[in-house]
Structure 1
Amino acid sequence: MTTYRTAGLAGTAPTPTAAVKPLVLPAPQRGEDLHVRVSAPVTGSNLPIVLFAHGFGSDLDGYAPLVDHWASRGFVVVQATHLDSKQLGLTADDPRKPHVWRHRVQDMKHILDELGTLEASVPGLAGRVDHSRIVAAGHSFGGQTAGILVGLRVRDPHTGTAEDLSDSRVMASIQLATAGKGGDELTPFAHENLPWLRDQDFSHITAPGLVVAGDRDDLPLTTRGPAWTTDPYTLSHGSKSLLTVHGGEHFLGGISGYQVTETTDENPGRVALVQQVTLAYLRHVTGTDHTDWEKARKALADGHPLGRLESK
């Protein structure tokens, strides 16, 4: 396991972890069984859960820098391989393809329904998990998935309706480098190829949440530039915090893996910042401990070279 360090944000010491994959949940309605990975500390009880959604094209093995960090410090992290994964290779004419955003949410709800089964499938984990403390998290496309679980409304491009697909079992969210509202702010490419971004309504989100945005995340999906990814913070309600990663592009220094090729801003310090602030938030929002979160808020209030943390 690679360890990154950020000055002033030391945080909690790691403990050994175990990961089990693939745990297979039958899912005939999606046309593919749902493959799941569970990572957890080998000791401890009343462990909170992080339900993590990968970015477009990734899979249940992605995002090890975050997953390892959270699991080694007291969280059960559950990941799935969603239908948009490169591993599954859906063809352009696959009838499921226009609905992958909705299938992702259904995947997460299926996991929530089967938490007992998943827990029992991991040796030594049964009876150690707190099912009342669940946080949804995700990067990029996965951030939209996490947002929907806490109230984000997405207008279905086929039906024209914007359903409430939230789940009361999820208490909070972490959205990393996630899309903002659609409309005229989308580029023609995004409007044509990602129709589920055309109309997003953040106003119904009231659950606590942390949004992480890179101030150089200049995606080809919007005309607004990096500020677009702060919409989940500025346009939603309730207790929200925003971590702005200085110099951060879409992969925020390299959160998607230890040896990845897609990162355009590789920087161990940025990864450490995201690791430590997200962990502090998880511990804070689940009521585990508030000390690290208060330290992070103080250290990152202004003037830190790696980022800025604000709340509303």
Structure 2
Amino acid sequence: MNHSTTPVLSVSPVTLAAPDRGQDLQVRVTAPTAGRDLPVIVFSHGMTLGMDDYAPLATFWAAHGFVVIQPTHLDSLGLAPDDPRTPFIWRIRTEDLTGVLDQFDAVEAAVPGLGGRVDHDRVAVAGHSWGAQTASTLAGARVIGADGAPGESQADSRVGAAVLLCLPGTGGADLSPMAAQYFPFMSPDFAELKTPSLIVAGDADQSPLTVRGPDWFTDGFRLGSGATDLLTLFGAEHGLGGIQGAHDTRTTDESPERVALVQRVTLAYLRTALGLDAAAWPEARAALAASGEPLGRIDSK
């Protein structure tokens, strides 16, 4: 599984038109300097983070042959509570990701030497925390409305795989009063989550958003037919060892070993799920199972 790594180029901000959003969409693009037919990962950040975070993941994925596109969502731009967009931020986040997919050509043109090297048919979405919920909507998850019915599907047929890190679980009685008040859209319906997806959860991720324990973050695996695999990290909290990178001081469980495991396992999953290397995922699962002191375990349906 030791692929050679390639030097990486990162360009930001790349500005994409977003006419209905109130302001343009800014993204960071991280890409290998060599290689052709490069698959794509569009990554959605957690609450109030941005395109400059998650460098440990973006740089690793790019060094192993992926183009990584990271938008900055509106929740990181300090919208006022009475801004008319505020109640719809969760939906606009999804539109940010589809907007990136719609404007691949502009993304390519903004990065020197990237034109003509991107495989538009091999696309994954990924995200952490609220960003995992955002990414999951392109994989088929829906949001249950105030009427108790799942909202319209925002699944995107261009997306072939998803990596969902600390994906928020079911809503209703499982939400804390704080979450129910401020994040009523954290009420997912996973019945149509059919795109091949890897869920990553920490077994010490005790969230203020839920009255349940860390297993709340495994609901997507339990309930979504496309969520075929679950990586549980032992002792990991919400930062999964520090995947957000150095800019985010909230990581409470700093562990370079954990971050390295997330890097390796997510890469292997995507390489197999997108049809690049059929052996990558079985090898990663076997390697983790065989390691003497494993940092986690993989469950597969």
TM-score (norm 1): 0.92
Cα distance, 1:158 vs structure 2: 8.7
Give distance in 2, aligned partners of 1:82 and 1:260.
16
Give 5+ residue unaligned stretches, structure 1: 1-9
Aligned residue for 1:233? 221
Which 10-residue stretch deviates more, 277-286 or 68-77? 277-286
Deviation, structure 1 residue 98 = 1.2
Q: 1:309, 1:159 → 2: CA distance? A: 33
Residue in 1 that maps onto 2:27: 36
Give the C-alpha shift of residue 161 in structure 1: 5.5
Equivalent residue, structure 2, for 1:260 = 248
Instruction: Please name the residue that 1:148 is paired with.
Output: 137
Distance in 2 between residues matched to 1:275 and 1:281, nearest whole Å = 10
Displacement of 1:304: 4.2
- Counterparts of 1:20-169 in structure 2, within 5 Å, are 20-85=11-76, 88-157=77-146, 162-169=151-158
Deviation at 1:121, TM superposition (A): 1.6
Quick one: which amino acid aligns to residue 93 of structure 2?
A: R
Q: State yes or no: 1:297 paired with 2:278.
A: no
The whole-number CA distance in structure 2 between the counterparts of 1:289 and 1:93 is: 48
Match of 2:202 among 214, 219, 234: 214
User: Does structure 1 conserve the Cα–Cα contact (< 8 Å) formed by 2:53 and 2:248?
Assistant: no
| Aligned partner of 2:274 among 286, 297, 301 | 286
Tell me how far apart the structure 2 counterparts of residues 149 and 227 of structure 1 sit (CA, whole Å): 23
Structure 2: gaps spanning 5 or more residues: none
Deviation of 1:242 after TM superposition, in Å, equals 0.4
Distance 1:109 1:288, change over 3 A: same
Identity of aligned residues (%): 52
- 1:217 Cα deviation after fit: 0.3
The Cα shift of 1:299 comes to 2.3
CA RMSD in angstroms, aligned pairs only: 1.6
Structure 1 distance, partners of 2:5, 2:262, is: 16
C-alpha distance in structure 2 between counterparts of 1:169 and 1:284, whole Å:
17
1:196-219 CA-to-partner distances (Å, cap 9, x unmatched) read 01x311011111110000000000
Contact kept? 1:40, 1:71, Cα under 8 Å: yes
One-letter amino acid of the counterpart of residue 182, structure 2: N
What corresponds to 1:224 in structure 2? 212
Equivalent residues, number: 300
Q: 2 CA distance for matches of 1:44 and 1:183?
A: 47
1:182-209 CA-to-partner distances (Å, cap 9, x unmatched) read: 1111110000010101x31101111111
Counterpart amino acid of residue 116 in structure 2: G
TM (norm. structure 2) is 0.96
Helix, strand or coil for the counterpart of 2:163? strand
User: Aligned-pair distance for 1:120?
Assistant: 1.6
Give the direction of change, closer, same or farther, for the CA distance of 1:184–1:48 in structure 2 (3 Å limit): same
* 1:248 counterpart residue number: 236
Contact 1:11 1:292 in 2 (8 A): no
Structure 2 residue corresponding to 1:203, chosen from 191, 209, 213: 191
* Cα distance in 2 between the residues matched to 1:26 and 1:145: 20
Contact 2:3/2:64 (8 A) holds in 1? yes
